[in-house]
Amino acid sequence: MYISQQTVNQIFEVAKIEEVVSDFVTLRRSGVIFKGLCPFHNEKTPSFTVSPSLNIYKCFGCSEGGNSVNFLMKLKKFTYPEALTYLANKYHIPVIEEELTDEQKIKASQTESLLIVNQFAAEYFNKNLQNTEEGKLYGLSYFKERGFTDEIINEFQLGYCLAKKNDFTEAAIKAGHNLDFLKTVGLTIGNDYGNIDRFYGRVMFPIFGQSGKIQGFGGRILTNEKTVAKYLNSPDSEVYNKSKILYGLFQAKPEIRKQDKCFLVEGYTDVLSLYQSEIKNVVASSGTSLTVEQTKLIHSVTHNVTLLYDGDAAGIKASNRGMDILLEEGLDVKIVLFPDNDDPDSFVRKYGGRATLDYINNHEQDIIEFKSNFFQQETKNDISKKSEFISETARSIALIKTELKRELYAQRCSEIFNIRVSSIQEEIDKYLQEKDTENQKKLIVQQQKSVPKVENYSKVIQNSISSILYASEKEMIKTLLLFGEEIMQNDKTISNYIFSNLKNDDLTLKNPLFDKILKLVENKINNGLALDALSFTNNQDPEISEFSAEIFYEKDKLSALWKKRGHAIIPEVDLARENLKDLFKRYKICIISEQKEKLLKDLSISEEENNLEKLQQLLENIKMIDSIIKKLKE
């Protein structure tokens, strides 16, 4: 089955780019556009923009751009049908499906197959939990002992993998699932003794991606075997990467947006217990130290995060590490440590949601408060430890993005530790300088990599013609899209001028993308249709929509600028008219020069073969091409 064209058209009509993007990126209005930090590359200053009028996004830092479908495909690694289905669900559009052809069935996405395997596993484990004697005796009793209700078990699809080592694998294969797919997502492990279940004898925590599909699993053993890992996660695969996912984010996202705050905990049960107690804006790093990718996920929803960790040494260490990563990502960070022998899970089960929320609100500390309390306990009168600790605090402050906030923190640090502000600032500046030096080194390495080796110089020279051809074709298509309906001369439109020039000289565009767009424009004109921006930016071909997004976004931005200055028409139209003749002249010279390059190669081969007749013919052709180039340049 595949999504019908009727549904696709409706999705493109209804989906609003700012609404889709804001599910993953915090956007701030800036005039008629929105801005935010780009999710596709690491940046400190927002260069990622969203244009509601054009229904596209564009990043001026990494050049990514396109429509809502492209955005989801790039960010979430969705296939085209997955992105459409996500949007259909978001906007409550009924999906009308049509039968796949044999060819389409062959091309069915492996990614979709892997996600289907995961969904089957989650349903199977949940049925084991609730419908088998073993599942009820061990799995369900474990969850009930921890106070989890049927509602929370069903909402998070908790489950149990039977202790028989190949029960799940046999059931999955019997249901028609591919063994290779089971191994790829890590549900099945192959060894010398056959195929066994990775999670046998464990309670199961399905891990949802942001689209609501299950991307992986966490499994907890219920015995006290010291030689076996207490928790086990799915291995990294095409659909799961533990460093790029947060447990509970799919369920928590609406509440995080509502509260404009995210609580970050360490474990699955911490999330479940808080969520069940109506503290729903909570996620967990689940089995991995906090990563930069995970902080980006939080930052896409809110700027404010509070770490909720145990009050023991491990919890304090995790708080320090997580705090620095979050600060460097530009988030506002608070820390709450629970009393000894308590974690968020045990605390909320003891005292309830209201009391837990009160405790959090009353014990939240910023980085200076947190470090000063730790400082009092650890340093005492040890000067060496005191110096080391203040230096570490200064390093954390140096990670803060804004200078003003760094200065305020430096002043507070000075007051708490009874040290001159200038001394704190010196330490901060030292770390900032170290970071700048490190960034400069990285830049130099990148620049060195981009310089071609000596043996590649000839290749670079040969590529120069191709580069000019590409630039000329790009300018031609850009002019066609932006000004194709404008009058060129003698009542001929710019589009007619371009088509006639190409046709008269029997020229075909070298770049496949530009050729596709050229044919699309020609088809529109032949059918009397307008060259409207949305029909290109919302095109179902990702390449066309991305390229068009870049072109039309530039025009939209320029139009606003010129109108602001009192101009009714963009002056670029006049420039386009003037430049087209020169553009075609350059283009034709490049085409002919490319032919000359081929002749020169043939000439070299003919000299080696001592083929005098062929040499003479080639020399005459080269001489003729030189005269044509000379005439074009006049």
Q: Hey, which CATH number is domain 2-106, 3.40.50.2000, 3.90.580.10, 3.40.640.10, 3.90.550.10?
A: 3.90.580.10
Tell me, what's the pLDDT at 77?
Answer: 73
125-173 pLDDT, tens digit each: 999 999 999 999 999 999 999 999 999 999 999 999 999 999 999 999 9
**CB of 52 closer than 8 Å to CB of 16:** yes
Tell me, what's the pLDDT at 450?
Answer: 41
pTM of the model: 0.61
Give dist(CA 61, CA 58) in Å, integer.
9
Tell me, what's the pLDDT at 75?
Answer: 84
Helices within 163-205 (DSSP H only)? 167-174, 179-184
Residue 264: strand pairing partners: 283, 307
Tell me, what's the pLDDT at 225?
Answer: 81
CB atoms within 10 A of CB 334: 22
Q: Which residues in the chain land under pLDDT 50?
A: 105-107, 444-445, 447-463, 558, 561-563, 565, 567-570
Specify the CATH number of the domain 109-240: 3.90.980.10
The three-state DSSP-derived secondary structure of 247-306 is ECHHHHHHHHHHHCCEEEECCHHHHHHHHHCCCCCEEECCCCCCCHHHHHHHHCCCCEEE
Residues of the chain with CATH 3.90.580.10: 2-106
Residues of the chain with CATH 3.90.980.10: 109-240
Tell me, what's the pLDDT at 406?
Answer: 85
Torsion of the alpha carbons at 78, 79, 85 and 91, rounded to the nearest 10: 50
90-102 pLDDT, tens digit each: 888 888 877 655 5
Give dist(CA 182, CA 49) in Å, integer.
40
The length of the chain is 634
